[in-house]
Structure 1
């Protein structure tokens, strides 16, 4: 085995990229095996390279996941690298992006155990509708929407969430409906394509468009977000939405296990395979 593609024992949903990537690597003469991060029998030390893919259950066991990543990074090369995982697994990274002057969706971070007043929070921010999500999440796990008129009725739901985990509250961005949330795919030093995603909440399926061109202002935003670590990354996904003034803002910066929508843009698959082959030769 030369490349291990990291997944999980029970994926919450299928990974459309997986079969395409395994086949394309085989076509390039690279043996790839799909191994689960939560499988104690997986032989990570036998891989020359570990590429994280659909490790989508890790938000349920984030400490175990990071411990696994540290063990794997000690026996083989990992992409994206361990420091990226450690920084990106908790969405407090949005505050660090904002501190660098990168435009992000406004976010209120609530530490586990806090006692927020949802109605007061929405009034203070001037939000008539908001989205609540865990600070460590994947596939819209635990994400829900609340209107200001329902804030009092939703207070206990928020308190229950915050009692369990760090949580974040963001304004509901109307542009997720039209022109839509846009995922910008970045592979080995370059943005390759974008897709449009429909708004998605807990329990819903993801629907995406065909590949789309990337607008100049989206490109500038993504490159600014990735600039400090771009040289270390194999892949990234920058999820954006346009604000009230029309400028794009980052909703999420996916650096651990993003779907890359390779079926929607075959040149991106070819670029990813070439990048993996190049790293095997290093």
Structure 2
């Protein structure tokens, strides 16, 4: 009797919300899904697993020792499983493709249009006022370079005189920053900026108006090919395009020129990071009608498989990796 294939999804706390859909898709291909918590991975009989997927590693930004733990697990599996065990996407992406500071500057150097960004390494002695003075930006977004779901992100707007800020405990507060240096120094925006840069590397970007009018577009790739595009809107009076904060995700028919742009970028990423079984490229429109890159989700993205009608396509791609990768 032929053994049913088994796919293991590594997770930290809870997997993506699409797990039940993914399980059903694999079941249609005579394959079982097992969710394995990283903390319990040493108890798994890896020889009975056909492929390890990292796509359910949500909340990775809250795990400061994630990279060495993933590297140790993959080394253990490689050493103890006869013929090796395929891992998708490649485990090296955890070190090179999660933190935006690791890959976005490289993409800029390669000529990819990225939202203009000022990078502030952890512990750098600077102020938000100094950055906005240098760039001339009156509105900006500040966020950690390693984050998900807008974790610790905030907006800031320069104003001539101090005004009362909104609730600083909100998920994504919108602060003001007075032009006067003495008032700016004691502002909520500068305090939050100092707290953030003391613990992590951050990015500062100009606020792009199109996020509230046209939203983001995510290009999803499966098995090395473009699969579908998702339009991501923000909630009324919001600015973070995520369903947890009132955003709406809708499949869209992307402009063929925009698809070609995303395909070229995806090809570049594959040349850097080995074959990508899945990827998501998040973009914002430019005022001129083109696209600019926000980020690339290559390790643990939500792929909008249900919205894109791509569950079986995704399952087939992963199973193809399982068949070809186990030697």
Flag whether TM exceeds 0.5 (same fold): yes
4+ residue runs over 6 A deviation: none
Query: Which residue does 1:269 correspond to in 2?
Result: 311
Q: Give matches, 1:73-112, under 5 Å.
A: 73-74=74-75, 75=77, 76-92=85-101, 93-112=103-122
Q: Which has the larger radius of gyration?
A: 2
Contact 1:58 1:65 in 2 (8 A): yes
Cα distance in structure 2, aligned partners of 1:116 and 1:243: 29
Inter-CA distance 261–215: structure 2 relative to 1 (3 Å threshold): same
Cα distance in structure 1, aligned partners of 2:192 and 2:255: 38
Tell me whether 1:2 sits opposite 2:10 in the alignment: no
Tell me whether 1:253 sits opposite 2:296 in the alignment: yes
Q: Structure 1 residue 42: deviation in Å?
A: 4.9
Inter-CA distance 281–202: structure 2 relative to 1 (3 Å threshold): closer
Query: Which residue does 1:173 correspond to in 2?
Result: 208
Contact 1:183 1:196 in 2 (8 A): yes
Contact 1:103 1:221 in 2 (8 A): no
Aligned length: 277
Q: Give matches, 1:111-130, under 5 Å.
A: 111-130=121-140
Contact 2:220 2:281 in 1 (8 A): yes
Query: Which residue does 2:286 correspond to in 1?
Result: 243
* Equivalent position SS for 2:311: helix
Deviations 1:204-239 (CA, angstroms, capped at 9, x unpaired): 525333211122332233223221343610100000
Contact 1:7 1:54 in 2 (8 A): yes
TM-score (structure 2 length as normaliser)? 0.79
Inter-CA distance 109–38: structure 2 relative to 1 (3 Å threshold): farther
Q: Which moved more, 1:43-52 or 1:89-98?
A: 43-52
Query: Which residue does 1:61 correspond to in 2?
Result: 63
Contact 2:86 2:322 in 1 (8 A): no
Cα distance in structure 2, aligned partners of 1:73 and 1:221: 34
Contact 2:97 2:298 in 1 (8 A): yes
Q: CA RMSD in A?
A: 2.1
Cα distance in structure 2, aligned partners of 1:193 and 1:71: 34
Deviations 1:117-148 (CA, angstroms, capped at 9, x unpaired): 21221122121211111111112111111112
2:261 to 218, 221, 239: 221
TM-score (structure 1 length as normaliser)? 0.91
Tell me whether 1:212 sits opposite 2:222 in the alignment: no
Deviations 1:85-119 (CA, angstroms, capped at 9, x unpaired): 22112111111110000111111111000122212
Cα distance in structure 1, aligned partners of 2:39 and 2:246: 24
Q: Structure 1 residue 44: deviation in Å?
A: 6.7
Q: Give matches, 1:175-190, under 5 Å.
A: 175-190=210-225
Structure 2 gap segments, 5+ residues each: 78-84, 160-175, 178-183
Cα distance in structure 2, aligned partners of 1:235 and 1:272: 8
Cα distance in structure 1, aligned partners of 2:44 and 2:278: 24
Q: Which moved more, 1:73-82 or 1:131-140?
A: 73-82
